[in-house]
A = this chain, B = another copy of it.
Amino acid sequence: LSGGVALRDAARRGIAIDAMGGDRAPSEVVKGAVAAARQMPDLNLHLVGNEELVRNELEAAEWGGENIRIVPAKHVIEMGDSPIEALRRKRGSSIEEAVLLLRQGEADAVVSAGNTGACVAASTLRLGLLPRVKRAGIAVAFYAGDRPVIIIDVGANVASKPEHLIQYGIMASLYSRRILEVENPRVSLLNVGEEDEKGNRLTKETHGLFQKTRLNFVGNIEGVEIFRSASDVVVCDGFTGNIVLKVAEGLAERLVELFKEVLGQALDPAVVSTGEGGKGGEQAAVAAVLRRSLGKVHERLDYSEYGGAPLLGVNGVVIIAHGRSDAKAIFNAIRVARLIAELDLNRDITEEIQAFSERE
């Protein structure tokens, strides 16, 4: 478990992982890290957290390799903690130490499934923002139809100004093109109507500014269109984006429940025997098909499949994974963190933001 030698190997990418962050930490986080270490042996993983707990999990995962090391951290910021206050009170928390590893050049990226606000605050305070970037934004990608759609910002910045939204559009467009491999991504502004003049003061001002960028700006988009692949990048303020994300999560959860309920009733023997050909034993077959199908729908919806949400605009690669992340979600987050670091997305963002500022 001593990663010291590997660390000095400059050719290897290092990822700092907040081993204590998330509802299922450290167990699922460590499992995900072990899976990544196995599949990407050229990575150095730094598991930041309570040494004993993390070591136990590594042992439980039967990990004996060299490319994971434990970096001790004294505190854990809980999901319910007030971010700024917790960062002050719990100096040396796992998320803060992970971010510091990045700042010190020992890691190329950070992954955390912990308190989102604390992760944003620690990253912004300790790493700073990229040149000319005014606010960092969280970009969440999910499948709608057959293409990935990005929503930015989903909660880093709840008091957005027009120029923040423009920068979100620029940054997320690059993320879409370079990381998700969408050609010439269509960028839109989330609004209450498609007409140019619709919306509140923020969206009206922002709409005009977007038209001056070199982005493939396709105008306003309504909520219902997000899921119809009408756009590849949907820009909104962090208040709206956070609510959209959580409403979508709540509704999807409720819908899957509702399907189970309704199908459960449909599979009741009394119901099944009333005609449609179902007789006794066939129920098991139907139920099995349904269970598999529900699982697949869940997979297609699950944005953890995309490997967490990058915090775009900070001077470093920071990936925020969902609080409920399991090992697979953590594995995917590590994979995406690595990709963003390797492709040096932040260099592109810096150049584009500079080019846009100079044209203004």
Contact = CB atoms under 8 A, between A and B. Distances in A.
B262 A250 contact: no
Given A199-B158, A244-B223, A252 B255 contact: yes
Interface stretch (A45-53, A123-131, A165-173, A286-294): A286-294
Interface in A229-265: 236, 238-240, 242-255, 258-259, 262-263
A250 B276 contact: no
Given A227-B250, A262-B296, A243 B289 contact: no
Interface string A328-355: 0000000000000000000000000000
A272 interface: yes
Report how many copies the assembly holds.
2
Contacts of A145: 254
B190 A243 contact: yes
B262 A297 contact: yes
Contact of A223 (B222, B227, B245, B284): B245
Count class of interface residues, chain A:
35 or more
A227 B255 CA distance: 9
Interface in A202-238: 203, 222-228, 236, 238
Contact of A158 (B192, B247, B288): B192
A185 interface: no
A239 B240 contact: yes
A104 interface: no
A238 B250 CA distance: 20
A301 interface: yes
Contacts of A228: 250, 254
Contacts of A64: none
B247 A297 contact: no
A258 B228 CA distance: 12
A148 to B, nearest CB: 14
Nearest to A295: B262
A41 to B, nearest CB: 35
A253 B222 CA distance: 14
B282 A239 contact: no
Interface in A128-163: 144-145, 155, 158-159
Given A252-B251, A254-B144, A285-B276, A223 B243 contact: yes
B226 A192 contact: no
B293 A266 contact: yes
Contact of A247 (B197, B223, B254): B223
A38 interface: no
A281 interface: yes
A144 B289 CA distance: 27
Contact of A201 (B159, B195, B238, B250): B159
20 contacts: A82-B197, A144-B254, A145-B254, A158-B200, A191-B243, A192-B243, A200-B239, A224-B250, A227-B254, A228-B254, A236-B243, A239-B240, A244-B244, A244-B247, A252-B255, A262-B296, A263-B289, A266-B290, A286-B286, A290-B290
Interface of A: 82, 144-145, 155, 158-159, 190-192, 195, 197, 199-201, 203, 222-228, 236, 238-240, 242-255, 258-259, 262-263, 266-267, 272, 276-278, 281-282, 284-286, 288-290, 292-293, 296-297, 300-301
